[in-house]
Chains A and B, each alone.
Chain A
Amino acid sequence: MSVAIVDYGLGNLRSVAGAVEHLGHAARITAEPAELRDAAKLILPGVGAFGDGMAKLRARGLDEALTREVVEGGKPLLGICLGFQLLAEASEEFGEHQGLGWIAGRVTRLRPDDASLPVPHVGWNELHQVRPSRLFAGIADGALFYFVHSYRLAPRAGGLAVGETDYGGRFVAAIERDNILGTQFHPEKSQKDGLAVLGNFLGHA
């Protein structure tokens, strides 16, 4: 199966592609709307600032292409880290920025209850499975995943969250709504359990 990894000029696309290939799928790193159409599944990765990310998506016409494929066409998409946050309506990172707007909710700064907890939240932390999700098939509740972020997506609607993580208060670490999935953590950087999450999204090679 062919997987398109959306290249909008931000983040570590190679490692996502490496993980997809490790799982036996063909990965295509691309910024071409036509190639998004041809792919069976899409991954929107990304590390970096929200406003910059959206500006780059728009500059390449990828915001419209993605909306066409995913929202109108129903193609499965997994957003990772910034790619997950971009699904929101807006973010407060470095000023107010509009997102793709597929998920009602905002991206806000992490504000741990315990002021001694550093932000960014960097490292391995537990994922609590708050709702069954196809992403978690075969993965233990409380498994550890790698996070690196200063902001978090807070969906307005309850029930979208499938995974939560505690860092001076719980935040949404994974969502699933029909064909739209997202993880705040990096499955491609979370070793066996991370590869399992990706494998669950991609299906059998």
Chain B
Amino acid sequence: MLRKRVITVLTFNDGVLYRTKLFRPDYRYTLNFVDAWSVDEIVVLDVTRPGEGGRENFERVIADFARRCFVPLSAGGGIRTLDDVRRLMALGADKVVLNTGALERPPLIAEVARAYGAQCVVLAMDVRRHEDGRYEVYGGFGQRPSGRAPEDWAREAVGEGAGEILVTAIERDGWLQGYDLELCRRLSQAVPVPVLVLGGAGTWAHMAEAFEAGAAAACTQNIYHFTETSIRSAKAFLAKRGLPVRN
């Protein structure tokens, strides 16, 4: 049986690892805490704002991870063209994460899918929940409203060739209060591809809730920074709850 995945998402600002809160780099970390042997997959994202640093440092990070980690590696942040994708793939990424670039120009998804296959394309969307309960996709580091509903955008992206959907609940980033399960449920029902959720995990039970709401993968960014425990202990918890995970 296919296992539910536990994915570590790492955000880099000019090549330096940060945690984020509400999408801003919040605190600097070193890489030592990444438990390289029990994580199922790693996502590295460049969150360097335009003009606040070059790409070289982030590219060094990707090459370093590709050499040392024998799990799938996805890379993203600032991808606008197929050339950007080629560079990341040449550095050793297995998949690329498209976000604002795809919102601005949806055919980018199809271009990447044609060149590398749908399984290489992770469409990431940052979603805000409005006061009236309506969800909306935001671009540009979660700042720019797109006018799109997450389910519609996910369907369109899958139609263009996206192989996975990574959804982040903007307001939950860094708060450790749990994933947006309603959003997770809606997207899992809307598209036939794996849905990966990010934003809000603070306990292992939060991951279990996400899986039970249809997520193929629970992504965490900050949780390990605050706990002495590891991915291994998360997996032990999830297995005990009857969820199929890789120990």
List residues of chain A with CB under 8 Å of any chain B CB: 10-12, 14-15, 18-19, 22, 47-49, 52, 82, 117-126, 144, 146, 148-150, 166-167, 186, 188-192, 194-195
> Can you spell out 30 A-B residue pairs with CB atoms less than 8 angstroms apart?
A11-B89, A14-B66, A14-B91, A15-B70, A15-B92, A15-B94, A18-B92, A22-B70, A48-B117, A48-B120, A117-B2, A120-B163, A122-B163, A123-B4, A123-B5, A123-B40, A124-B3, A124-B5, A124-B40, A125-B2, A125-B3, A146-B71, A148-B72, A148-B119, A150-B117, A150-B119, A189-B72, A189-B94, A190-B70, A195-B70
- Cβ-defined contact, A191 with B71, below 8 A: yes
| The 9 A-B residue pairs with the shortest CB-CB distance in the complex, in nearest-first order | A14-B92, A124-B3, A148-B119, A120-B119, A48-B117, A124-B246, A18-B67, A125-B2, A189-B72
The count of residues in chain B whose C-beta lies closer than 8 Å to any C-beta of chain A is: 37
Number of A-B contacts (CB under 8 A): 106
Chain B residues in 8 Å Cβ range of A167: 2
- Look across to chain B and name the residue whose beta carbon is closest to the beta carbon of A82: B117
Chain A interface secondary structure, helix, strand, loop or mixed? mixed
Q: Are B89 and A12 in contact (CB under 8 A)?
A: yes
In whole angstroms, what is the CA distance A19 to B193 when docked?
29
Contact B3 A12 (CB under 8 A): no
How far apart are the CA atoms of A52 and B116 in the complex, in Å?
9
Within 8 A of A (CB), among B88-131: 89-95, 114-120
**B residues at A contact (CB < 8 Å):** 1-5, 37, 40, 63, 66-68, 70-73, 89-95, 114-120, 163-164, 192-194, 216-217, 246
| Distance, CA A47 to CA B194, complexed state (A) | 18
Contacts of B164 in A (CB 8 A): 120, 122
Task: State whether B194 touches A123 (Cβ < 8 A).
Answer: yes
Instruction: Report the minimal beta-carbon distance from B63 to chain A, rounded to whole angstroms.
Output: 8
